[in-house]
Amino acid sequence: LQDGFNKMMAASRRILPETDRLIVAAGVVEDFAAFLSEKHPSLMVGFLDVLPEFQQIVEKKYG
């Protein structure tokens, strides 16, 4: 289930250094995923379902 999330994080690490905003945004998403996983694990499936679509929004806004 975390495949989509892991792909987003890997992609953000390959982006050029000048995209610091995208890296910070990806870090926030990662922190949110960790929070959900720890505090609300039942929500992770839904989170991972919408993550690819949200990834596109983050990349357009901060990329």
Task: Tell me the residue range of the domain where 16 lies.
Answer: 3-62
Task: For residue range 1-55, list pLDDT tens digits in order.
Answer: 577 777 777 776 676 655 677 788 888 999 999 999 999 999 999 999 999 999 8
Kindly report the pTM of this predicted structure.
Answer: 0.66
pLDDT attached to residue 15: 65
pLDDT attached to residue 12: 66
Which positions ≥6 away from 32 have C-beta within 8 Å?
47
> What letter does residue 60 receive in the DSSP assignment?
H
* Tally of structural domains, the chain: 1
